Structure 1
Amino acid sequence: MTPDQQDKRLVSLFLCGDVMTGRGIDQVLPHPAPPGIHEPYVRDARDYVALAEERNGPIRKPVGFGDIWGDALAALEQAAPDVRIINLETSITTSEQWWPDKGIHYRMHPENAACLTAARISCCAMANNHVLDWGYPGLSQTLSTLRRLGIATSGMGENLEEAQQPALLSVGAGRRVVVFSCGDVSSGIPPSWAAGRDRPGVDLLPDLSPATVRHLGKRVADLKREGDVVIASIHWGENWGYTVPRAQRDFAHALIDEAGVDVVHGHSSHHPRGVEVHHGRLILHGCGDFLNDYEGILGHEDYRSELTLMYLASVDPADGRLASLRMLPMQLRQLRPHRASRRDAEWLCGVLDREARRLAPQTRVELEDDGPLLLQWG
């Protein structure tokens, strides 16, 4: 088989961490929602824009729908992945029914959701701790907006059955990418957000037990067919720190070994965590934030959370095994991603290489001459 034939046989994926287009980012887009928010210390979402400008200079507003993706947009066009999957961590709504027991509320005006189509996003994983920030009306408007735009969703619905429906993404030749989106309380999802038989909400995992693996495995088995690549997109874990809890790692391994999952797409951490290849399948334990309005907020500087990654994976649909993983380093500046400098890419490479070796000693992360990081495993 020639290299060209091999490439055509593979399914290519773009994966990233949290895309938080609400609050400050919404305010610089062409159709901002009312800026009032209900945080203990900040009452106006435009304050987050001011912090970013104080840190890195004025932001010319409005920012175009494509421009908010910065250098990532051209990188996506060049990579041309078969599917583009994000964790969308915001409500898309004009609802004013903010959730009273939460300290932070993200929303993006529905007319600003065009930023998602500008990046040709295929699927939004929705089981996270911000999608219900503006109540059940916000949930309904979020889903209707994404449906209108033709963007698939998984992990949230008007009831449990809908919340548990995976996204089915056709990639040609009878092949599909199947995306299950689930959340864990360790990420800050309120237990009351769990979808019920007659209650809207998210697909919240009851725990990380073998019984939960078996339940997910049945859901996978009911749908998976030859040529499918199955992704479990999971919002879990704390915001800071590199240690992967044993329970999460065991759960990810079991999803691959017992539940028929080919890729575990983990997110919630504000910075990238270790990458692992388990029995030939990819596990991203924590992808870091990809778009946020945290610029200028002090704290946890040692983690360099402004450095983020575009994960470009190629998977063989015949057996779900990872063929390659390239990671493009980006730096969040002026509320959008920019290509990271060589020095910053080297720093990120060193961190990811260290963490990959901790998870599996034979794994390496190397910096290529043209800037991407390449995962090597044995």
Structure 2
Amino acid sequence: MIQATEKSEAGARDMTLFLCGDVMTGRGIDQVLPHPGDPVLHEGYATSALDYVALAERANGPVPRPVEFAYVWGDALAEWARIGPDLRIVNLETAVTTRDDWQRGKGIHYRMHPANVPCLTAAAIDCCVLANNHVLDWGHAGLAETLETLRCAGLQTAGAGRDKAEAAAPAVLSVTGKGRVLVFSFGAQSSGIPPGWAAAAGQPGVNLLPDFSPATLRQIAAQVEAIKRPADVVVVSLHWGGNWGYAVPAAHQRFAHGLIDQCGVDVVHGHSSHHPLGIEVYRGRPILYGCGDFLNDYEGIAGYEAYRGDLSLMYFLTIDAAGGTLLRLRMIPMQTRRFRLNRASAADTRWLRGVLDRAGRHLGSRVEAGPGGSLALRW
């Protein structure tokens, strides 16, 4: 009944997209799934992915092993079923591979065993954006296996490829009776992507932004214009900036505005920050500067506790598919405990609301309490 009520609020041409920040199903989470990969790590902090399982258990209690593929999504599954988004788009920040060509000089390496890819399909994810700082943690061969594994699982990808053309190509997602969503994925060096990871002619890699200049905007505008049809909704997914802090760099705001003004972009989907950042609605188009981590294995790691990295958000954006403008943005607060997403408590929801409201005020947005413990954006 709730799902039917929510659907009836939207017009026939309205489209609801689910977006979130970083989804890290590798390392510790991979170890509790049915087919754990080799746990050996090459990090200064830990030498085994099982160390992250131990940290989580020390903080919040035993994690069952092995868990079912759907376990990690926890209460998010009920929210997806209740709201029924037309598409689910995530930043998948892990390689999906058994390869051992770990990247020397890089401090953290994420890897999920390919046999655990059903944990992604259990969430009915439609598109994984890959232009991030972990998809090549296990080399070019690891990237190739990641792309092939996701393709065979029926998951569309954007932002990484076997050459520059494939890495730059958008995912084209069709919604029956409503139209298409084009998802372009870009990464910036400021998020920790090594410059050598850039895809080139004949070289695998990620779709790396050279800079945030007008020339780069012109290049993106040409790419969008070459494929966009009338009534297409265009999403640009950006892995940019540091992990901590609420300030939105002026260069990010200028670039996001340019994507909307010059490139025909309808949704700017930012990530890399480990916690949610403020939200702007510019010319009717939403800019999520940083969605925060959605799922990770960071439980029990000390440092930055004031940012409450255990809390995350499910973002549900209802878009006028004909005009590309935002009609409604609803957020569902979650908390990760024992490698599982759980609905956040009332107190944690109030805390998140206050943080997002303060962070968004200078961007022209407010966050209010919504029905059923949700949060609603006002602009």
**TM-score tier after normalising by the smaller chain length:** over 0.9
How is 1:36-75 mapped onto 2 (pairs within 5 angstroms)? 36-75=40-79
Matched residue SS, 2:335? strand
AA partner of residue 152 (structure 2): R
For the structure 1 residues 78 and 369, does the alpha-carbon distance in structure 2 shift closer, same or farther, using more than 3 Å as the test?
A: closer
AA partner of residue 289 (structure 1): D
Match of 2:99 in 1: 95
Distance 2:178 2:58 in 1: 51
Match of 1:264 in 2: 268
Match of 1:190 in 2: 194
Residues 1:296 and 2:300 are matched in the alignment: yes
Q: CA deviation at 1:227?
A: 1.9
Q: CA deviation at 1:70?
A: 1.0
How is 1:185-264 mapped onto 2 (pairs within 5 angstroms)? 185-264=189-268
Matched residue SS, 1:359? coil
TM-score, normalising length: structure 1: 0.97
Q: CA deviation at 1:78?
A: 1.2
Gaps of 5+ in 2: 1-6
Matched residue SS, 2:355? helix
Distance 1:336 1:156 in 2: 28
AA partner of residue 132 (structure 1): L
Distance 1:51 1:317 in 2: 44
Matched residue SS, 1:54? helix
Residues 1:165 and 2:169 are matched in the alignment: yes
Q: CA deviation at 1:369?
A: 4.1
Matched residue SS, 2:303? coil
For the structure 1 residues 368 and 203, does the alpha-carbon distance in structure 2 shift closer, same or farther, using more than 3 Å as the test?
A: same
Q: CA deviation at 1:358?
A: 1.8
Match of 2:373 among 368, 371, 374: 371
Distance 1:267 1:231 in 2: 13
Distance 1:373 1:185 in 2: 32
Q: Which moved more, 1:61-70 or 1:29-38?
A: 61-70
Residues 1:305 and 2:275 are matched in the alignment: no
Pairwise CA RMSD of aligned residues? 1.0
Residues 1:322 and 2:364 are matched in the alignment: no
Match of 1:340 in 2: 344
Q: CA deviation at 1:338?
A: 0.4
Q: CA deviation at 1:317?
A: 1.4
AA partner of residue 336 (structure 2): L
Distance 1:34 1:5 in 2: 48
Distance 2:319 2:235 in 1: 11
Q: Which moved more, 1:64-73 or 1:240-249?
A: 64-73
Residues 1:115 and 2:119 are matched in the alignment: yes
Number of equivalences: 373
- Post-superposition Cα deviations, 1:159-182, rounded to whole Å, max 9, x if no partner, equal 000001100000012610100000
Gaps of 5+ in 1: none
AA partner of residue 82 (structure 1): D
Match of 1:35 among 30, 35, 39: 39
Match of 2:143 in 1: 139
AA partner of residue 368 (structure 1): G
Matched residue SS, 1:192? helix
For the structure 1 residues 40 and 185, does the alpha-carbon distance in structure 2 shift closer, same or farther, using more than 3 Å as the test?
A: same
Matched residue SS, 1:370? helix
AA partner of residue 189 (structure 1): I
Matched residue SS, 1:256? helix
AA partner of residue 102 (structure 1): K
Runs of 4+ in 1 over 4 A off after TM superposition: none
For the structure 1 residues 27 and 5, does the alpha-carbon distance in structure 2 shift closer, same or farther, using more than 3 Å as the test?
A: closer
Matched residue SS, 1:147? helix
Matched residue SS, 1:355? helix
For the structure 1 residues 353 and 174, does the alpha-carbon distance in structure 2 shift closer, same or farther, using more than 3 Å as the test?
A: closer
Match of 1:25 among 26, 29, 44: 29
Match of 2:4 in 1: none
Q: CA deviation at 1:112?
A: 0.4
Q: CA deviation at 1:13?
A: 0.3
Q: Which moved more, 1:46-55 or 1:168-177?
A: 168-177
Check whether the contact 2:233–2:266 (CA below 8 A) recurs between aligned residues: yes
Identity, in percent, stands at 60
- Post-superposition Cα deviations, 1:45-104, rounded to whole Å, max 9, x if no partner, equal 000000000000001111111111111111111111110000000000000111112111
Matched residue SS, 2:253? helix
AA partner of residue 63 (structure 1): V
Q: CA deviation at 1:224?
A: 0.7
